[in-house]
Amino acid sequence: MKALNWHPAESAAFREGVISAVPLTVGVAPWGVVTGVAMVSAGLTSTQAVGMSLLVFAGSAQLAVLPLFIAKAPLWVMYATALIVNLRYFIYSAVLAPYFARLPRPWRVLLSYITVDGVFAMFAGRYRPGDGAEHKHWFYLGGSVLSWVIWQTASVLGIFGGSLIPRTWSLEFAATLALTALLMPLLFDRAVVSGAIVAGMVSLAGSRLPMNLGVLLAVIAGVVVGLIVTRFVPAAPAAGGADVP
| pLDDT per position as a tens digit, 82-111 | 887 787 788 788 888 889 988 999 999 999
Give yes or no for residue 150 having a pLDDT over 90.
Answer: yes
Do 157 and 207 fall into the same domain? no
- For residue 164, how many other CB atoms are within 10 A of its CB? 7
For the packed helices 25-41 and 59-70, what is the interaxial angle rounded to 10 degrees? 20
Give yes or no for residue 173 having a pLDDT over 60.
Answer: no
What band does 214 get if pLDDT is binned at 50, 70 and 90?
confident
Give yes or no for residue 129 having a pLDDT over 90.
Answer: no
Give yes or no for residue 169 having a pLDDT over 50.
Answer: yes
Do 135 and 225 fall into the same domain? no
Q: What total of structural domains would you count in the chain?
A: 2
Mean pLDDT: which of 78-82, 144-148, 199-203 is highest?
144-148
Which pTM does this prediction carry? 0.70
Distance CA 187, CA 220 (A): 17
Domain contains 203: yes
Domain contains 80: yes
Mean pLDDT throughout 107-130? Answer: 87
Number of helical (H) and strand (E) elements in the chain, helices listed first: 12, 0
Do 153 and 111 fall into the same domain? yes
- Give me the domain span that covers residue 203: 187-237
Which CA distances in Å does 187 have to 24, 130, 160, 183? 16, 21, 38, 8
